[in-house]
Structure 1
Amino acid sequence: MESTEKLPDAPGGAFSATELDEAFAEFQRTVAEVAVSGDWDRYADMFTEDADFVEHALGTLRGREEIRAWAWRTMTAFPGSHMTGFPSLWHVVDAPTGRVICEVDNPMRDPGDQSLITATNITILTYAGDGLWSREEDVYNPMEFGRAAMRWCEKAREHGNLDEPAATWMETSGAFFARSHKKG
C-alpha cells in the first residue's frame, strides 16, 4: 500500500537511540499524568508549533493548536473521557529516522463488573528534539474502538453505571456498532 504523504525524517538523523528512548519515556510519563489530571494542554505542549497529527478517521491536524483543540474535544467526550490511560505495550526506536513506534493500550474504566474493555492502536512518533515531537500518526481500526465502546455501554447499563455521555453516544453513534460488535 502506498502512503499519500512522505514521512519527514528527523533533522539529519540527529538523535541517538538512547535520546529517543529517553524522550519517549518522558512522553509516556506525561501522557500517564494527563490521563489522570485531564489537562490536555500538557499533551498538546509536547508537540512543535508546526507538528502534524495524523488521525485516520479525521485527517491530518496541522499545528499544535489544532492538536490541542482535537485533544480537548476528543478526550473529554465519550468514549475518550472513559479511558483510564494510554500505556505503551511495547515500543521500538528507529534512530536514523528519529521515530518511535509503539502499540498503545486504551483501557476503559470498570463498567461495574470489573471487566477490562480496551482497544489498541499503533502510534508512530517523530522526534524534533528538546523534548518535542513533530508528528504523531495513530493507526487503528475504528470498528474495534467502536465495538469496545459499545461493549462498555452495554455492561455499564447492565450494572446501573451508564452515565449520560455514554448513554447519548450509545443512542447515536453506538447504534452503528450495536449491529456489528457481536463479532468482536
Structure 2
Amino acid sequence: MTRPTFSRDELVAAFATFEQTVARAGETKDWDAWVEHYTDDVEYIEHAAGTMRGKDQVRTWIRATMSVFPGSYMTAFPARWTVIDEPTARVICELDNPMRDPGDGTIISATNISIVTYAGDGKWCRQEDVYNPLRFLNAALKWCRKAEELGTLDEEAAAWYRKHGQPAGAAS
C-alpha cells in the first residue's frame, strides 16, 4: 500500500493547528476538541497505558488521565523541538509537561517524545508517546514535596502522594 505524500507546508500547518488545539485543551480541559484531530481509526500507542484504537478509546483514556492528579495538574504541552519527516508524513517532537505552580513560581515538569503520523485533511492517524514513566512519577513526587513544604498541597495531590510515596532511588 502506498502512503500519500504531503508537502512540508501542509505538515507544518497541520501540526501548528494541532498544537494550538492541545494548548487550548490544556487551558480548558476540553479534550474532545483534541481527539477530533485524529482519524476515526487512529492508533495511539502510550507506553504505560497500552495501545488504543479509535477515537473513542483515546477519548476515554485522555479524559481519565487528565481528570486526576498528576495529569489534572499539567497546564500545557508545548513542543520544545520538532522534526518534520516528509517521506513518512510524521512529525517527531519533544513535548514538555509542566505542572501548575506549587506556590512559589517553581516549574516542575517531565518530557516525552511524540511521533504523530499525518493522514491528510488536518487529521492524524497514529501517535506514539515515548517516555520514561519514572521521570513523570518523580516530577509528581517533587511537586508534592514542594507543595507540602509551601503549605499548598491539596487533598487530591496529598492522597496521591500518600499512596505513591518516595520510590527507591528516586531523585529529588
Q: Normalised by the shorter chain, which TM-score bucket?
A: over 0.9
Residue 23 of structure 1 pairs with residue 14 of structure 2: yes
Query: Do the aligned partners of 1:13 and 1:95 also contact (CA within 8 Å) in 2?
Result: no
Of the structure 1 ranges 48-57 and 161-170, higher mean CA displacement relative to structure 2 is found in: 161-170
Residue 110 of structure 1 pairs with residue 124 of structure 2: no
Q: Percent identity?
A: 52
Partner residue, 1:77:
68
How many residue pairs match? The answer is 172
Residue 152 of structure 1 pairs with residue 143 of structure 2: yes
Residue 44 of structure 1 pairs with residue 35 of structure 2: yes
Partner residue, 1:35:
26
C-alpha deviation, 1:12, in angstroms: 2.5
Query: Do the aligned partners of 1:35 and 1:84 also contact (CA within 8 Å) in 2?
Result: yes
C-alpha deviation, 1:178, in angstroms: 4.1
Q: Which residue identity is paired with 1:163?
A: D
C-alpha deviation, 1:150, in angstroms: 0.2
C-alpha deviation, 1:112, in angstroms: 1.4
C-alpha deviation, 1:163, in angstroms: 1.3
- List, as ranges, runs of 4+ consecutive aligned residues in structure 1 with deviation greater than 4 Å: none
1:141 & 1:162 partners in 2: Cα distance?
Answer: 25
SS at match of 1:12: coil
Partner residue, 2:169:
180
1:115 & 1:63 partners in 2: Cα distance?
Answer: 37
| Unmatched runs of 5 consecutive residues or more in structure 1 | 1-8
RMSD: 1.3
Query: Do the aligned partners of 1:48 and 1:132 also contact (CA within 8 Å) in 2?
Result: yes
Query: Do the aligned partners of 1:55 and 1:137 also contact (CA within 8 Å) in 2?
Result: yes
Query: Do the aligned partners of 1:147 and 1:180 also contact (CA within 8 Å) in 2?
Result: no
| Unmatched runs of 5 consecutive residues or more in structure 2 | none
Partner residue, 1:124:
115
